[in-house]
Amino acid sequence: MHSSSGLVALAAFLSTASAATFGFNYGSTFADQSAKVESDFAAEFAAAKKLPGVNGAFTSARLYTMIQAGSSDQIIEAIPAAIDSNTRLLLGLWASGDPSGFKTEIATLQKAMQQYPKLASLVDGISVGSEDLYRTSEIGLKAPDAAPGNTPDVISNYIGQVRDAVKGSILAKAPIGHVDTWTAWANSSNSAVAKVADFIGTDAYPYFQDTMSNSIGEAEGLFDDAITETRKFTGNTPIWITETGWPISGPTKNLAQADTSDAKKYWDAVACKLLAGNMNTWWYTLYDAGKKTPSPSFGILKDLQGQPAYDLSCKNVDTSSSATKETSSSKTASGSDSSETTDAGSPGISASNNADASMTATGGSYATGSAPIATGTGSAGASGNGTTTFIASATPSVPAGSGGSGSGSGSGSGSGSSGSGAAGAPGASSTGIATAAGAANAVSIVSLIGAAALAALLI
């Protein structure tokens, strides 16, 4: 599934890797849209490494942009914080919107490689974009004020541009891939991206699969199905779990309740198996309550100095699972789109900077059936016709300015708070995806609260 140059780079990189990498998602802004600075990232990275019950497993940070929130081209301050704390990084380049924004992301990546040579030993990979394919899906395009996404051809070209940018550099051996919803990967029209990617970053949230039976008792099966469907359409390319989680508070989504008890059950059913397996994983999320608590809230910690909301130790948990373990027997895409369910975008992304870029928050959820399922402010309904695999989404838009955060509810309804922020770099953490036409600071899982609210929660 890879180009020869990509395979060579990936093989060289994997020769130095031993076990799977585990980490959390980190947006560039707080839920109130204020920019995170180096000390903020440092505090979060330290809290992740000190989590009780996980034996220091969470040592990596997934970023959504190379650009510091509130600036047009400065290196995100998460990088020096990661170097000082020896935190590994899944770097991200925001890839939606105006091509000029992506050029700035590449230029900032090159600047970071020159300024921080220690990145050579800390980078797990480089993600080109986040959920861009979902936002150009049939459902995403029908959403009112839809956030900009990008086509398979553009994302494939961008991956090539990043390969050229790191050629001969300290990151020449780093895997380069793309992150999207599992339903985007399970759509054969996006196969061009899978063919050139060194890894398949996959976002999956059973909580938002609210047009199906999605109680916590069925969540593990829904998650496993998402990975199985992704693998069918992406061949032998390694799957990395880039976003999944269960909220500790927030609205009920069909049969899915947002509470600490069910979040604990989801952790035991999904996180514990991932921790026992060999699939790189970035959980959503460590902490999303800084300065403002989003709804739903997925944070394991309510306070960086406090204790987790539930036991993370995986005691007496059966960790056997086939879907969450990488194998070499993955099958290639069959050529027809999955007819299972539709997935949603990711929860909070924020964008800032880049003038003339429009940022929007989007969110959605898995959907099946033949009837429209989503309505509400800032959200477009999704219909499943048995042949498409798109995610229902809500896409409130955010005016230019500085980044924001967003939250949204899958499959339809949601309000969203508009934030200000041009699409430069993604911002704070939240639920519901905010995207920017230039570069967006994002991190997210989907559960739109609507057009306006989403923007306010942007990561």
Burial readout 79-104 (b: 16 or more C-beta within 10 A, e: otherwise): bbbbbebebbbbbbbbbbbbeebbeb
Copy the structure tokens of residue 115. 């300024």
Burial readout 187-206 (b: 16 or more C-beta within 10 A, e: otherwise): bbebbbbbbbbbbbbbbbbb
Cβ 295 vs Cβ 251: under 8 Å: yes
Helix, strand or coil, per DSSP, at residue 241: strand
Q: For 235-373, where are the alpha helices, taking DSSP H only? A: 260-266, 272-276
Helix, strand or coil, per DSSP, at residue 161: helix
CA distance 436 to 446: 16
Q: Which residues does 233 contact at the CB level (< 8 Å), separation at least 6?
A: 185, 186, 187, 188, 191, 194, 332, 333, 334, 338
Cβ 101 vs Cβ 109: under 8 Å: no
CA distance 287 to 24: 9
Q: Which residues does 108 contact at the CB level (< 8 Å), separation at least 6?
A: 66, 67, 73, 74, 75, 76
Catalytic residue among 44, 77, 105, 131: 131
Catalytic residue among 105, 220, 229, 243: 243
What burial class does residue 329 get, using C-beta atoms within 10 Å of its C-beta: 0-12 exposed, 13-18 middle, 19+ buried? exposed
Residue 131 annotated to the active site: yes
Measuring CA to CA, how many Å separate 235 from each of 30, 108, 124, 341? 37, 32, 21, 20
- Specify the amino acid at residue 385: N
Q: State how far Cα 239 lies from the chain centre.
A: 13
Q: For 351-456, where are the alpha helices, taking DSSP H only? A: 451-456
Q: State how far Cα 243 lies from the chain centre.
A: 5
Residue 220 annotated to the active site: no
Helix, strand or coil, per DSSP, at residue 242: strand
For 326, other C-beta atoms within 10 Å of its C-beta total: 16
Measuring CA to CA, how many Å separate 383 from each of 139, 335, 391, 421? 8, 21, 9, 31
Active site amino acids: 131, 243
